[in-house]
Amino acid sequence: MARKASLSGFPEWLPEERLIEQHIIDVLRRTFELHGFSGIETRAVETVGDLLRKGEIDKEVYAVSRLQADEASASESGLALHYDLTVPFARYVVENSGHLAFPFRRYQIQKCWRGERPQEGRAREFTQADIDVVGDGALPFRYDIELALTVVEALGALPIPDFTLRINNRKLAEGFYRAIGLEDTAAVLRSIDKLEKIGAEQVGSLLREEVGADQEQVRLALELAGIRTPDTSFVERVRALGVSDELLEEGLEELRQVVAEAAHRAPGRVVADLSIARGLDYYTGTVYETVLDGHESLGSICSGGRYDALARKGNRTFPGVGLSIGVTRIVSRILSQGLATVSRPVPTAVLVTLADEGSWSQAQEVASALRVRGIPAEVAANAEKFGKQIKFADRRGIPFVWFTDTEGAHEVKDIRSGEQHAADPGSWLPPAGDLRPIVSAR
């Protein structure tokens, strides 16, 4: 169970909780690298102008200033902590375009800061894990498919409940709405986005009152939003609505390709969900949103999509497609619901005991011999009675204690079973399951 932070919205984990978070980060990093993504890190601050260009309101951005600011530091003004990793990445691409090989595959796992009201799943300081592919001038559509498969593999390796990656397409939605006479697609999307919260009847009222939709337009918009399939059958269901439009057909085909490949390679993980509206106002094609099954109230744990113009530099345009995983959101739910356990709260596998105060240097040699072979070890600080040293290891969660007698003979004891036997620090290995703390789903 996660503790409450003394400063709301800024979580701090206990050692065993941090092990769970670190496990998630390590799994994501390994998966991203297996798929050829290169890791980068950008600075924590950006200019306020760059951060607000995406439309964020001022109160959600933490400004940065020196306590002892003076005229000499005026050039440092106008800085703020980044609230996501997309804006910094767009700047990074522009500034380093001459040094990057396109399409550029990047992952980035860093903290972000956002001054919103804290609640479960929303913190003011949080860690995100992003993956993106960005092109120079053009970016093949197949990357939209690859991103979906990569994130399904990454999330599937985490100690979390089943999840569903829901996918929609901006072109599909925009083409459909315009074809039925609803030109203010952004307003339509804002109304459709409330579907899960307020229901179809109230969304219909919003469409009539705020968009000026007639009864037939409301019916068609709600029928489109009600289509959700785990396969490509959504294509015929959309066409059965009798709406024809070139942009609609383009979006249908793109979504069909993503869902067809995902249904083949990751059956049951991906669905075409035409109710997804959040993000469609700034994405230009594919849109992803992921929820934990049975934990929908938490909101999306992973979302993203395609930008036809992630960044610009003069006449050059850099289109991109990417996904962002809410690491802190996932960890918070794991801890609050007890969804995962860790085999021990510390990395140490072996405590090397002291027979007397003069044996500390010799004990350090034993620990070094273990560490050089990748076995986490620490040395007792005092030559207390062996019983007290064993209790210390037990209290820390260390599974093995090491003894060296005055003749230089070595023995190791598993304090859980009580088994003790002779061992050589140059060759002994703990069971594979005891080498490192193991995080597993309940």
219 annotated to bind ligand: no
278 annotated to bind ligand: yes
283 annotated to bind ligand: yes
Residues 6+ apart with CB under 8 A from 401: 350, 351, 352, 353, 389, 390, 393, 412, 413, 415
State how far Cα 404 lies from the chain centre. 46
Inter-CA distances, 375 with 334, 338, 437, Å: 28, 29, 12
257 annotated to bind ligand: no
Inter-CA distances, 59 with 80, 115, 299, Å: 11, 6, 22
* Of 378, 380, 397, residue with least CA distance to 389: 380
* Of 258, 236, 238, residue with least CA distance to 248: 238
Cβ atoms of 150 and 35 closer than 8 Å: yes
The dihedral through the CA atoms of 213, 218, 220, 223 has a sign that is: positive
Strand partners, 307: 320
128 annotated to bind ligand: yes
178 annotated to bind ligand: no
132 annotated to bind ligand: yes
Residues 6+ apart with CB under 8 A from 260: 231, 232
* Cα–Cα dist 119/333, whole Å: 12
The dihedral through the CA atoms of 366, 369, 373, 379 has a sign that is: positive
* Cα–Cα dist 362/18, whole Å: 32
Q: In this structure, what token pair is assigned to residue 137?
A: 């001038």
Detail the residues annotated as belonging to a binding site: 84-86, 114, 128, 132, 278, 282-283
Detail the residues annotated as belonging to a binding site for L-histidine: 84-86, 114, 128, 132, 278, 282-283
